[in-house]
Amino acid sequence: MNTLHPERPAELPGHLELALLALPKAVPELRRTVRQYLDAPCADVQLCVTELVGNVIRHLGEGTPVRVRVARVDGRTRVEVTDPDPRALPVLVRATGDAESGRGLALLDAMALRWGVEQAVAGKTVWCELAEGC
């Protein structure tokens, strides 16, 4: 078992890994790149990548450096977004009917087989795993 990522199952060869600045204008290109890597539209995976990078933009600020990783793992697709702040942890909340935000993690929670956070001294990785259906 990998001690740095104890939740990560054995990965199949080939994965997508990108280092970028979390900026709203970077998200459409990121979604296209993920679609090309998966060789299919995979709306659920693209939505999870968008939500996780969007959370970095909202909670840490535009221009925060992130690492985005997408891999096919044991019949699943694993999405990871790593940022430099180990303190700003995502929290699943119930948004009220008229709330303008707060639904992203609930949506991710509903789509993903599982998700979580791995903390490190130099930051954290928020990850989710989806059924490989695309």
Could you tell me the CA-to-CA distances from 107 to 9, 21, 73, 130 in Å, in that order? Answer: 23, 24, 22, 12
Q: What is the pTM of this model?
A: 0.84
Structural domains of the chain sorted by starting position, each given as residue range(s) with its CATH number in brackets = 15-131 (3.30.565.10)
Question: How many CB atoms sit inside 10 A of residue 10's CB?
Answer: 8
Kindly list the distances between the CA atom of residue 4 and the CA atoms of 48, 50, 134, in Å, as whole numbers in the listed order.
22, 25, 29
pLDDT tens for each residue of the chain, 134 residues long? 333 343 444 444 579 999 999 999 999 999 999 999 998 888 999 999 999 999 999 999 999 999 999 999 888 999 999 999 998 888 777 766 665 566 678 889 999 999 999 999 899 999 999 998 76
Q: Specify the pLDDT at position 99.
A: 57
